[in-house]
Structure 1
Amino acid sequence: MATTLDLHDISYIHEGAPEALFDVVDATLPQGWTALLGDNGCGKTTLARIVCGALTPTHGAVNPSPSTLVVAYCEQECAHEPANLDALRDDWSPEVIALRDTLGIGDDWPYRFATLSGGERKRLQVACALHGTPDLLVLDEPTNHVDADTRGAVAEAMRAYRGIGVLVSHDVELIDATCTQCLMFTRRHMGGRNRTVLERYAGGYTKARRTHELRRAEAVGELKAAQGRRRALESARDVRRAMMDAASARKHGGHLIDRHDHDARNTHKWNEKQADKASAAAYRALGSRLEAARREAASIETDAKRYDGEILLDITPSSRRELAHVPAGILRFGDAAGGAGCVAVSELTVDGMRWHARKVGDADGAAQGCPGIRVPRLGVGPRDHIGVDGANGTGKSTIVRALLGSVDDTVPTLYIGQLPQAGADARLLARLHRLDDADKARVLSMVAQLNDDPDRLMRGRDPSPGQLQKLALCIGLLDGPQLIVLDEPTNHLDLHSKQALARFLRGYPGALVVVSHERWFLDEACGSAE
Structure 2
Amino acid sequence: MARTTMLTLTDISYTYPSTPEPLFEHVSASFQQGWTAVLGDNGLGKTTLLNIAIGMLPADTGSISPDPHRLTIATCPQDNMVRPKNLDDFATDWSPETMRVRNALHIGDDWPYRYETLSGGETKRLQVACAITARPDVLVLDEPTNHVDGETRKAIVEAMRQYQGIGIVISHDVALVDATCARCVIFERQHISGRNITVISTYDGGYTQAHEQMTSRLRGDEESIRAARQEVIRLRSAQAQRHQAMQSAYARKRNGWKIDRKDHSALDHHKWIEKQTDTASGVAYRQMNKRLERAQRTLDSLTVAAKRYDGDIWIDIRPSNRKELLHLTEGIIIFGSGRVTSSNDTARTPTQSILHADGHQWKVAHNPEMSGEKPRMPGVAIPKLSIGPQDHIGLTGANGLGKTTVINALLDSMPEDVPHLIIRQQTGEAALSQTMRRLAALQGKERSQVLAAFAQLNADPDKLLSNEAPSPGELRKLMLCLGILDRPQLIVMDEPTNHLDLESKVALARCLADYPGALLVVSHDEWFLDQVVG
Partner of 1:168: 170
- Are the equivalent residues in 1 in contact too, given 2:44–2:198 (CA < 8 A)? yes
Please report how far the alpha carbon of residue 44 of structure 1 lies from its aligned counterpart in structure 2 after TM superposition: 2.5
Partner of 2:363: 356
Identify which of 374, 377, 392 aligns with 1:385.
392
Partner of 1:397: 404
Identify which of 281, 284, 291 aligns with 2:283.
281
Aligned residue identity for 1:448: A
Correspondence 1:253-268 to 2 at 5 A: 253-254=255-256, 256-259=258-261, 261=263, 264-265=266-267, 267-268=269-270
Please state if 1:473 is matched with 2:474.
Answer: no
Alignment CA distance shift 1:84-1:60 (3 Å) = same
CA distance in 2, matches of 1:430, 1:146: 29
Identify which of 364, 370, 381 aligns with 1:374.
381
- Are the equivalent residues in 1 in contact too, given 2:40–2:502 (CA < 8 A)? no
Please report how far the alpha carbon of residue 206 of structure 1 lies from its aligned counterpart in structure 2 after TM superposition: 4.7
Correspondence 1:412-427 to 2 at 5 A: 413-418=420-425, 420-421=426-427
Please report how far the alpha carbon of residue 476 of structure 1 lies from its aligned counterpart in structure 2 after TM superposition: 4.0
Please report how far the alpha carbon of residue 505 of structure 1 lies from its aligned counterpart in structure 2 after TM superposition: 2.1
Partner of 1:185: 187
Aligned residue identity for 2:303: E
Q: Secondary structure at the residue paired with 2:100? A: helix
After superposition, give the CA deviation of every residue in 1:407-456 in whole Å (9 maximum; x if it has no partner): 678765433344x4566897599558745454553333112222344446
Aligned residue identity for 1:245: Q
Greater shift in the superposed pair: 506-515 or 402-411 = 402-411
Identify which of 80, 101, 104 aligns with 1:102.
104
- Are the equivalent residues in 2 in contact too, given 1:247–1:272 (CA < 8 A)? no
Alignment CA distance shift 1:493-1:435 (3 Å) = same
Partner of 1:448: 455
Correspondence 1:228-377 to 2 at 5 A: 228-254=230-256, 256-259=258-261, 261=263, 264-265=266-267, 267-315=269-317, 328-331=330-333, 344-361=351-368, 367=374, 371-377=378-384
Q: Secondary structure at the residue paired with 1:271? A: helix
- Are the equivalent residues in 2 in contact too, given 1:386–1:512 (CA < 8 A)? yes
Partner of 2:523: 516
Greater shift in the superposed pair: 506-515 or 387-396 = 387-396
Q: Secondary structure at the residue paired with 1:309? A: coil
Q: Secondary structure at the residue paired with 2:182? A: strand
- Are the equivalent residues in 2 in contact too, given 1:52–1:72 (CA < 8 A)? no
Percent identity at matched positions? 48
After superposition, give the CA deviation of every residue in 1:238-294 in whole Å (9 maximum; x if it has no partner): 332233133223323425334555664455345324322221121111111111111
Aligned residue identity for 2:354: E
CA distance in 1, matches of 2:18, 2:133: 38
Q: Secondary structure at the residue paired with 1:290? A: helix
How large is the Cα RMSD of the aligned pairs?
4.3
- Are the equivalent residues in 1 in contact too, given 2:325–2:389 (CA < 8 A)? yes
Q: Secondary structure at the residue paired with 1:307? A: coil
- Are the equivalent residues in 2 in contact too, given 1:365–1:371 (CA < 8 A)? no
TM-score (norm 2): 0.79
Aligned residue identity for 1:137: L
Correspondence 1:47-196 to 2 at 5 A: 47-52=49-54, 71-76=73-78, 78=80, 80=81, 82=83, 87=88, 90-91=91-92, 93-94=94-95, 95-106=97-108, 111=114, 116=119, 122-146=124-148, 149-196=151-198
Partner of 1:10: 12
CA distance in 1, matches of 2:5, 2:273: 76
After superposition, give the CA deviation of every residue in 1:131-179 in whole Å (9 maximum; x if it has no partner): 5344432222323455555444322211222343211124444334433
Greater shift in the superposed pair: 471-480 or 300-309 = 471-480
Q: Secondary structure at the residue paired with 1:245? A: helix
Alignment CA distance shift 1:35-1:291 (3 Å) = same
Aligned residue identity for 1:285: Q
CA distance in 2, matches of 1:424, 1:480: 23
Please state if 1:490 is matched with 2:509.
Answer: no
CA distance in 1, matches of 2:207, 2:353: 35
Please report how far the alpha carbon of residue 375 of structure 1 lies from its aligned counterpart in structure 2 after TM superposition: 1.9
Q: Secondary structure at the residue paired with 1:256? A: coil
Q: Secondary structure at the residue paired with 2:29? A: strand
CA distance in 2, matches of 1:399, 1:393: 12
Identify which of 194, 197, 200 aligns with 2:199.
197
CA distance in 2, matches of 1:367, 1:70: 45
Greater shift in the superposed pair: 258-267 or 346-355 = 258-267
Which runs of 5 or more structure 1 residues have no equivalent in the other structure? none
Aligned residue identity for 1:159: R
Please report how far the alpha carbon of residue 197 of structure 1 lies from its aligned counterpart in structure 2 after TM superposition: 0.1
- Are the equivalent residues in 1 in contact too, given 2:328–2:384 (CA < 8 A)? yes
Alignment CA distance shift 1:29-1:359 (3 Å) = same
Greater shift in the superposed pair: 154-163 or 338-347 = 338-347
Aligned residue identity for 1:187: R
Please report how far the alpha carbon of residue 102 of structure 1 lies from its aligned counterpart in structure 2 after TM superposition: 0.5
- Are the equivalent residues in 1 in contact too, given 2:173–2:525 (CA < 8 A)? no
Alignment CA distance shift 1:521-1:158 (3 Å) = closer
Aligned residue identity for 1:349: H
Greater shift in the superposed pair: 82-91 or 172-181 = 82-91
Alignment CA distance shift 1:99-1:12 (3 Å) = same
After superposition, give the CA deviation of every residue in 1:189-233 in whole Å (9 maximum; x if it has no partner): 222333220112344445544543454454445444434443443
Partner of 2:37: 35
Greater shift in the superposed pair: 168-177 or 432-441 = 432-441
Q: Secondary structure at the residue paired with 2:41? A: coil
Alignment CA distance shift 1:134-1:89 (3 Å) = closer
Please report how far the alpha carbon of residue 301 of structure 1 lies from its aligned counterpart in structure 2 after TM superposition: 2.0
Aligned residue identity for 2:404: S
CA distance in 1, matches of 2:290, 2:225: 19
